[in-house]
Chain A
Amino acid sequence: MADTKNKPGRVSMPEQEAKVRAHNFLEVPEGYTLQMAQEEAARCLHCKTPLCTQGCPVGVLIPDFIALLVKGDITGAARKIWERNALPAVCGRVCPQENQCEGNCIVGKRGEPVAIGNLERFVADWERENGSGQLPPHEPKTGKKVAVVGAGPSGLTVAGDLIKKGHDVTIFEAFHKPGGVLVYGIPEFRLPKAIVGQEVHFLERQGVTINCNSVVGKCISLDELFEEGFDAIYVGVGAGLPRFMGLPGENFIGILSANEYLTRTNLMKGYDFPNYDTPVPQGKKVVVLGAGNVAMDSARTAMRMGAESVKIVYRRSREEMPARGAEIHHAEEEGIELCLLANPTKYIGNDEGRLVGMECLKMELGEPDDSGRRRPVPIKGSEFIIECDLCIVAVGSGANPLLTGETPDMELNRRGNVVAEPGSGKTSKKGVWAGGDIVSGAATVILAMGAGREASNSIHRYLTLGW
């Protein structure tokens, strides 16, 4: 490792101390200063064939924006990112960079990769706070109308793209606030809601109409949208159907889906109860089932809501945990325990119907299964009890049938996801595109945005050339 000694390591981003932040909802990493950002940017080698860009699902022109940042042209850097990515302040914070851009960075082969996510975040934040707020140029109005169903990252991307191309865009969102998982799921301490709010406001300033409280499929159907004069529809309704494990006692008080727990705390601001009216269960001994990003967010939220202990119960081992490494690390720093190789078998309640504990079985790893991961096998007779008064179920989410069930002529796959043509997002229903989690199953922000970008290109071709 003598080699890395000569190369300075990456500039680390200051963070709130674990002991302090475990009790507040302020953002954990505090951001770079301009000086830190430029110091980190100087580590980029400006590769001719940048592998980093190949690792980014939307192909952000990374060396180009970093070069502008080094020169001090931050607005230019922001514009460069925007060419490919409409929500850099969000992606800089939540992308799994270690598997994408940074995972590919050449500097990372010998040491720590360039902190691309941190730089992207810096540029976007700086431009938001200090930039001119100038709107991007729009093409002349085409007179065509597009409806976007769902105001998550996927739908917002489509809206942003098509308004610039001169089409009228109206977003229909079921909740009372736009943003999708960015506002109801991902907690404030990872993604401040003010940032999402400003991104949405930026679209509104450009002329996008946002109709909240509009549950498409209930308030209005896709066919009725066409009757109202929309020429094309994009469906980006996400993966909004919570999975439960189907264990005995699942309806005891104190067992919530992660969707419910996070919606109550984030969207409804239950962490500020009683200043906000929505209650959030106050667990003292909390168990979270699952080991993905959603589980980490739930566990870290429960800690901030005043839990004495928070345990993540997962049936496989640490290596198989699907959450980002950084999130697991943050969770452990904040005092969250990992209870690995354990699988819940039933819930235990008291006579008021409240959760008081959970029975689990110990597991061991057997032969690899279809996914190539070693299959967890229960150890006979190893039952044990975990005392708990709150259990958050974060074992995944499926496709919500509310809209698709009302749209029989839009083809679905076996799992209830919309079938969309790869590369264009066209569905089997004429004039309707789909993308994001409702097509791919629960995935990532950047993939949902990438799907939105492909669909908006295809929609634009349709509106100018035909289906």
Chain B
Amino acid sequence: MFKIVHREELGQGTVILNEIEAPLIAKKAKPGQFVILKANETGERIPLTMADTNLEKGTITIVYMIIGRSTATFADLKVGDSFMDVIGPLGRPTHLEKVGKVVCVGGGTGVAVLHPITRALKEIGNDVTAITGARNKDLIILEDLMTKASNTLHICTDDGSYGHHGFVTDILKEKIENEDIKMVVAIGPVPMMRAVAEMTRPQGIHTLVSLNPIMVDGTGMCGCCRVSVGGETKFACVDGPEFDAHKVDFGELMLRLHSYTEMEKQSYAKFKGEK
């Protein structure tokens, strides 16, 4: 069993952090990789990126936004409770390289996914600027960790309640215009990743995104996670989840994420009713 040893509520309780005992996964995990979790016998298999790992304690950390039945079920688990199944590490690790100036852009819980990548890019000697965004001050997560993980951190809020008033792409634009940016990593909601991709495309700045299609097994046996990259079909769980942003068909990804919207609503309503 995979016991929760630490739990935090972030962003006014909209986002949950769980540190889970999983020594074998912690030993193997690299930045950019994810796990699949199932809370109980009747649960769904849900992919979440590892935001951190601790080798000595044998733990992994996940950070997730409560948006539906499964994440709400996860959020109800307390310290001492266990996930029934945790599988990983899955996916390819981020290809880490010393290139010079790097910008890491994160939105929503994408910041959690971005954290280990940002830290690793800095550790190998890149000059890393991190830009994170949220709708308002209360929804900002992992500010301390991101400050440590990067050389410079910029925070943006849509309503101006904290940091820069505006979008993460505003700051990114400034950076691109004034500095010799070699690489950009963007992780967050699909529209944000698409906007970043469009911004770096003209200069041909190498841009990585981490895609979040719906998954089942996470081992390449079902094809549920298909995404179109450079006109080819890829399975995000084994070929990704990171891809060259300039080649990704974001429109298709956005549509496919709505495959089960009606049933998801039904399932979440039932869950809330039972509580």
Contacts and interface: CB of A to CB of B under 8 A. Distances in A.
A and B form one complex = yes
A33 to B, nearest CB: 34
B42 A219 contact: no
Interface stretch (A35-43, A44-52, A249-257): A249-257
Given A213-B86, A219-B89, A276 B217 contact: no
A254 B256 CA distance: 9
Contact of A260 (B38, B42, B223): B223
A278 interface: yes
A259 B219 contact: no
B252 A268 contact: no
B45 interface: yes
A263 B220 contact: no
Candidate in B85, B228, B255, B270 with the most chain A CB atoms within 10 angstroms: B255
Mostly, the B contact residues are: mixed
A221 to B, nearest CB: 10
Contacts of A269: 42
A240 B235 CA distance: 13
Contacts of B252: 251, 353
Nearest to B221: A240
Contact of A213 (B43, B87, B267): B87
Nearest to B39: A277
A401 B219 CA distance: 10
A256 B224 CA distance: 7
B84 interface: yes
Interface string A171-189: 0001110000000000000
Contact of B28 (A219, A276, A279): A219
Residue of B44, B73, B228 with highest tally of chain A CB at under 10 A: B44
B233 to A, nearest CB: 7
A277 B221 contact: no
B231 to A, nearest CB: 11
Contact of B223 (A259, A279, A281, A401): A259
Interface range on chain B (Cβ under 8 Å from partner): 35 or more
Contacts, number: 111
Contacts of B25: 219
Interface in A257-305: 257, 259-260, 263-264, 268-269, 273-279, 281-282
Interface string B176-217: 000000000000000000000000000000000000000011
Interface centre among A213, A220, A242 (most CB of B within 10 A): A213
Interface string A241-253: 1101000001101
Contacts of A352: 255, 258
A18 B177 CA distance: 70
Interface in B74-91: 84-90
Contacts of B221: 240-242, 259, 263, 400
A215 B85 contact: no
B69 A402 contact: no
A277 B220 contact: no
A222 to B, nearest CB: 14
A173 to B, nearest CB: 10
Interface in A192-211: none
B266 A353 contact: no
B246 interface: no
B226 interface: yes
Contacts of A215: 87-88, 90, 219
Contacts of A380: none
Given A256-B224, A353-B252, A277 B217 contact: no
Nearest to A254: B259
Interface string B1-33: 000000000000000000000001100100000
B170 to A, nearest CB: 31
B273 to A, nearest CB: 10
A353 B256 contact: yes
Given A218-B89, A253-B259, A353-B255, A268 B45 contact: yes
Contacts of B43: 277
B139 interface: no
Contact of B222 (A257, A273, A275, A353): A257
A284 B90 CA distance: 35
Given A213-B87, A244-B233, A274-B266, A263 B216 contact: yes
Contact of B70 (A244, A277, A282): A277
Contacts of A220: 24, 28
Contacts of A241: 220-221
Contacts of B256: 251, 253, 353
Given A219-B89, A400-B219, A277 B267 contact: yes
Interface in B53-99: 69-70, 73, 84-90
Contacts of A242: 221-223
Interface string A400-420: 111000000000000000000
A225 interface: no
B120 interface: no
29 contacts: A174-B87, A175-B217, A176-B84, A212-B85, A213-B86, A215-B88, A215-B219, A218-B88, A220-B24, A220-B28, A241-B221, A253-B256, A256-B224, A257-B222, A257-B223, A259-B222, A260-B223, A273-B267, A274-B266, A276-B42, A277-B42, A277-B43, A277-B69, A277-B73, A278-B216, A279-B260, A279-B263, A281-B260, A353-B255
- Rank and list the top 6 A-B pairs by shortest CB-CB distance, nearest first: A353-B255, A240-B221, A260-B222, A279-B263, A277-B44, A176-B85
Interface of A: 174-176, 212-213, 215, 218-220, 240-242, 244, 250-251, 253-254, 256-257, 259-260, 263-264, 268-269, 273-279, 281-282, 352-353, 400-402
